[in-house]
Amino acid sequence: MRKRLLILATATTALVVVAFLVPLSVLVRNLAHQRALNDGLKVSQRVVSGVQSTPDRGESTLAAMVTDSPPDITVSIRLGNGQWIGQQPPDPASPALTLAVGPNGTELREVQVRFNGGLEIWHAVTDTPGKPIVVRTFVSSALFNQGVSSAIVVLVLVGIAILAVAMLIADRLAQWTVRPVAALASTANRLSSGDLLARAPVDGPREVVEVGVAMNRLAQRIRDLLDDEREQVADLSHRLRTPVAAVKLAAESLPASPEATRLTENVDALERSVGDVIREARRGVREQPAPACDVVTVVEGRVAFWSVLAEDQGRRVDLRLPDTRRLVRVSADDLAAAVDALLENVFAHTPEGTPMAVAVELDRVDAFITVSDDGPGMGNGSVDRGRSGGGSTGLGLDIVRRTAESSGGRFEVRSSPAGGAAMVMRLGPSE
């Protein structure tokens, strides 16, 4: 924006400068020509007056008049007998001579004609009837253009100086205009990154101030809505504690058995999850640390947790993990919930005994989690929130998608080599 404003101001100023320089240059040239013409007329009138006031028009007297002329102005005198005193003109029989003396040598007048880039001034003086004396004054082109080039150079330099000053002023004005806009963009980026305390400065042009005020109101409204949402989630989670406690007491009262132990562990996990939800809801966004976890450790732990159920259903689980570790930009709890949603989707929508595979792959930047099976596959729209082809709520895979996108990655569903579903999470690296 600043560059465009500067270009606009420069183009406008350049047009104005050119609009003034062109007529000024023409005016300087015309003034130089007029000055040269006046000088030529003065010399011509002086010689003519000298010829008219001198009774003795001898060659020596006339030659003295001819030689007494400034540089770049040449004076020649044609006597009535056709003899020239001084430098003979290139064209002694010039049509201008005929115009000056008339057809019979009796209609005497002054004639001005352009010649070789300069100006000829022909002035006839009465001598004897039919034999006038003609004074030719030639003003050279050097005198006509004297000072024109230097004046035009000065005008161009002045125009360049005006353009430079205009560009400097335009740059300062552009900075004054763009600075608050850049501050608005910075505030928007901070808000998008989760800094809900970011506020835009309210200064600059009136329109920018209005946008800043509206953005600050929006940021405050978003923060209020998130606070209300966290409170509602915390209240709802707190209400779940009572039924969860009742289920835990019922599980602990069962006779000792592997099923009772497994049920108690699941209830403990549910109780911890409810507690985590309450703590996360009570904490503000600014208080949360930057999320990061080791993707290999989390996936290995969740596959170990679900392997018991896979063994009960007769499923073969192939787990492929890399030898190196990689931190991704997502918390361990969120990643564990996403992996649980992927594995739970396989258990819920494929027949018992269907093989499945879990793989973690690392490239130079990102990490990939792939959960595939040999089941019937998944239809279009399975990742859309609230939609499911298997009778579920459709929120599990949407949680996976949001987790992947929050880390800077993405989630997609493909077909496995065996014709089943292959769900791939791409996770961005931790900052």
Quick check: 237 pLDDT over 70?
A: no
Global pTM value:
0.44
Among residues 110, 75, 99, 103, the alpha carbon closest in space to that of 89 is found at: 75
**Structure-token pair, residue 400:** 């996976």
Same domain, 252 and 342: no
Looking at the fold, whether 59 and 87 belong to one and the same domain comes out as yes
Please check whether residue 171 lies inside any domain of the structure.
no
Q: Which domain holds residue 332?
A: 289-427
- Please state the domain count of the chain: 3
**Contact call for residues 119 and 138 (beta carbons, < 8 A):** yes
Please check whether residues 216 and 121 belong to one and the same domain: no
> What value does the mean pLDDT take over residues 266-288?
64
Flag whether 190 is in a domain.
no
pLDDT exceeds 90 at position 207: no
Specify whether 11 is located in the same domain as 144: yes
CA angle 259, 261, 264 (to 5 degrees): 110
333 and 400 together in one domain: yes
Q: What are the tens digits of pLDDT across the range 84-101?
A: 887 777 777 677 776 777
Q: Are 90 and 74 in contact (CB under 8 A)?
A: no
Same domain, 130 and 237: no
**CB neighbourhood size of 153 (10 A):** 10
In a domain, 219, yes or no: yes
Please indicate, yes or no, if residue 133 is contained in any of the structural domains: yes
Mean of pLDDT values over 394-404: 80
Specify if 142 maps to a domain. Answer: yes
Whether pLDDT at 286 is above 50: no
CATH number where 34 lies: 3.30.450
Q: How confident is the model at residue 17 (pLDDT cuts 50, 70, 90)?
A: confident
Q: What is the pLDDT of residues 120-170, one digit of tens each?
A: 888 888 766 667 788 888 888 888 788 888 888 898 899 889 888 888 888
Q: 19 burial class (0-12, 13-18, 19+ CB within 10 angstroms)?
A: exposed
Same domain, 137 and 253: no
Q: How far lies 293's CA from each of 111, 328, 427, in Å?
A: 102, 6, 11
- Report pLDDT for 317: 93
Provide the phi-psi class of 328: left if phi over 0, else alpha when psi is between -120 and 50, else beta. Answer: beta
